Amino acid sequence: MDMGVEGKTALVCGSTSGLGRATAEALSQEGARVVVCGRRKSLAESVAAGLPNAIAVGIDLSAPKGVSTLIAEAETAFGSVDILVLNGPGPRPAKVTEIEEEEVGDAIEYLVTAHHRLISLALPYMRKQKWGRILAIGSSSVVTPIGDLALSSIGRSAFAAYLKMLATEVAADGVTVNMLLPGRIATDRVLQLDAARAARTGRKEGEVKAASITEIPAHRYGDPSEFADVAAFLCGSRASYITGNTVRCDGGLSPVL
């Protein structure tokens, strides 16, 4: 299926590893011009070098001019951004009774405020041309908060509410806004969380993973490419009537329809 992204400029945040990288690769395979970005410039350059039409930007979105610099470099290379994929590493694992006040503010800053700045810069062009895609890579914690991921659950749930309101306001302009929720996908982040859970409970990592798999109806962790295929679809022309949604790619893990 042609996703309808060929020739479009796609800025994929946090695309040096994990789900962000898989999404950047999927969009590139579909013919999009991809801006790969992350805090480690050398790693971004390595990822971009493996794609047919991509550039790398090493950037910290929480830096004072991080967002404006990223948008400027994307526009210099490829023109205005048609597809904006919002993604970033989650805060440290912790229960809600273990988090500090400043950590809540930091989670909102990185998971909501920095992304709001990006949207504010990219959205005017999308609305003007009557076509645009904003896709956030979220977490299943948006549907059901995860006890030992309190900071992530707080930040991503707030951002989901923001995106839902945004989708309503820009739908008539041909701009779709969605959040794609991964379940347990085999990325470094999930492996790190398994390791942290094992350390807290005194179990072996293999035992933690095995227990997690029993909770997934598909009885396995997902592959990043499976997630990225859904992301590429939501970023394309064929998904023009899907907006304001939280779409799950989780092997049936969520108990909520």
pLDDT tens digit string along 7-17?
999 999 999 99
C-alpha separations of 174 from 7, 75, 108 in Å? 18, 21, 28
Does residue 2 come out as left (phi exceeding 0), alpha (psi in the -120 to 50 range) or beta? beta
Q: What is the structure's pLDDT at 62?
A: 83
Q: For residues 204-227, give the mean pLDDT.
A: 91
Q: What is the structure's pLDDT at 198?
A: 81
Residue 225: pLDDT above 90? yes
Residue 257: pLDDT above 70? no
Residue 256: pLDDT above 80? no
Residue 104: pLDDT above 70? yes
Rounded mean pLDDT of the chain?
92
Q: For residues 180-209, give the mean pLDDT.
A: 84
Q: Could you tell me the two tokens for 47?
A: 């990822």
pLDDT for 115-157, tens place per residue? 999 999 999 999 999 999 999 999 888 888 887 889 989 999 9
Lowest mean per-residue pLDDT among 26-35, 36-45, 139-148, 157-166: 139-148
Domains and CATH numbers, the chain: 9-183+223-248 (3.40.50.720), 185-221 (no CATH)
Q: What is the structure's pLDDT at 144?
A: 80
Q: What is the structure's pLDDT at 26?
A: 98
56 pLDDT band, cuts 50/70/90, is very high
Residues across the chain: 257
pTM: 0.93
195 pLDDT band, cuts 50/70/90, is confident
Q: How far apart are CA 44 and CA 17, in angstroms?
A: 9
Lowest mean per-residue pLDDT among 24-28, 180-184, 204-208, 217-221: 204-208
160 pLDDT band, cuts 50/70/90, is very high
Q: How far apart are CA 149 and CA 172, in angstroms?
A: 36
